[in-house]
Amino acid sequence: MLKEVVKKNDDSMRQDALATREALLDAAEYLFTQQGHDATSLRQITTRAQANLAAVNYHFGNKEGLIEAVFKRRLEILNQERLLRLEALEQQAKQTGEPIKASAIVDAFFGTLIRIANEGNDAAWSLLERSMMDPAQFTRTLFAEECAEVLERYKQALFKALPHVPHEEIVWRFQFMLGATAFALSGTHALREVLGLEQSAAEDPTQAAERLLPRLMAFLLGGLRAPL
């Protein structure tokens, strides 16, 4: 009987600890998307999460550990979906005997990012945007580490899909595609102001987001297929 009580208490404590951890991650994610991680204090995070500083230290060690956990949570979701889509393409290629088209590979990698961003999760969109655009060395390093496996898988897939294009050229073009996508995610408001472009009255913000993917894909594929 005593063992059962102890076990229940342990389970309850673990559940409470997990709930606190998630609350801290949610609070930090929200604040990071609003004002950036540099401008966000631990006090702001703990206040929003209704937790204390000791909980941050217990779960993440320090603020840097919390930042890493927040970015990892979003990047893991994105990269898992990317791998699933690439594996589906590879499985289909085995069944049909046809090579995977480069356009399908590009869509699986870059299109997945845009589709997840368009699902209505503003926090996810903003955080993924910051993960690609934030100039801090810490964020760049974290992004590279979390995406290393996925980038390698997609790079090899492009090598197979474009056998007549030198590998070095594919790597360079993939890097350019990453840059173009990062800029597209950063928003077009400033660009519209500089170029004097006006958004069509018939195109509300939601429609503009939906039209981003085909516009971006056309540009990326054009660059990938450009003559040597």
Q: What is the pLDDT of residues 206-216, one digit of tens each?
A: 555 567 889 99
The CATH number for 32's domain is 1.10.10
Q: Could you tell me if residue 66 is inside a domain?
A: no
pLDDT in tens, 44-66: 999 999 999 999 999 999 998 99
Q: State whether 57 and 6 are in the same domain.
A: yes
- Write down the pLDDT at residue 202: 47
pLDDT tens-digit map of 19-44:
999 999 999 988 987 887 788 999 99
Residue 191 falls inside a structural domain? yes
pLDDT score for 4 = 56
Q: Can you give the chain as a three-state secondary structure string?
A: CHHHHHHHHHHHHHHHHHHHHHHHHHHHHHHHHHHCCCCCCHHHHHHHHCCCHHHHHHHHCCHHHHHHHHHHHHHHHHHHHHHHHHHHHHHHHHHHCCCCCHHHHHHHHHHHHHHHHCCCCHHHHHHHHHHHHCCCHHHHHHHHHHHHHHHHHHHHHHHHHCCCCCHHHHHHHHHHHHHHHHHHHCCCHHHHHHHCCCCCCCCCHHHHHHHHHHHHHHHHHHHHCCCC
Domain identity same for 8 and 92? no
Please indicate, yes or no, whether residues 91 and 167 belong to a single structural domain of this protein. Answer: yes
Number of domains in the chain: 2
pLDDT score, position 135: 54
Paired tokens of 141: 């390093």
5 and 85 housed in the same domain: no
Domain boundary among 32, 61, 90: 61
Under-50 pLDDT residues of the chain: 5-6, 201-202
Q: What is the pLDDT of residue 201?
A: 44
Residue 81 lies in a domain: yes
Residues 150 and 85 occupy one common structural domain: yes
> Are 7 and 50 part of one and the same domain?
yes
Instruction: Determine the structural domain holding residue 141 and report its residue range.
Output: 73-224
Residues 47 and 159 in one domain: no
Indicate whether 67 belongs to any domain. no
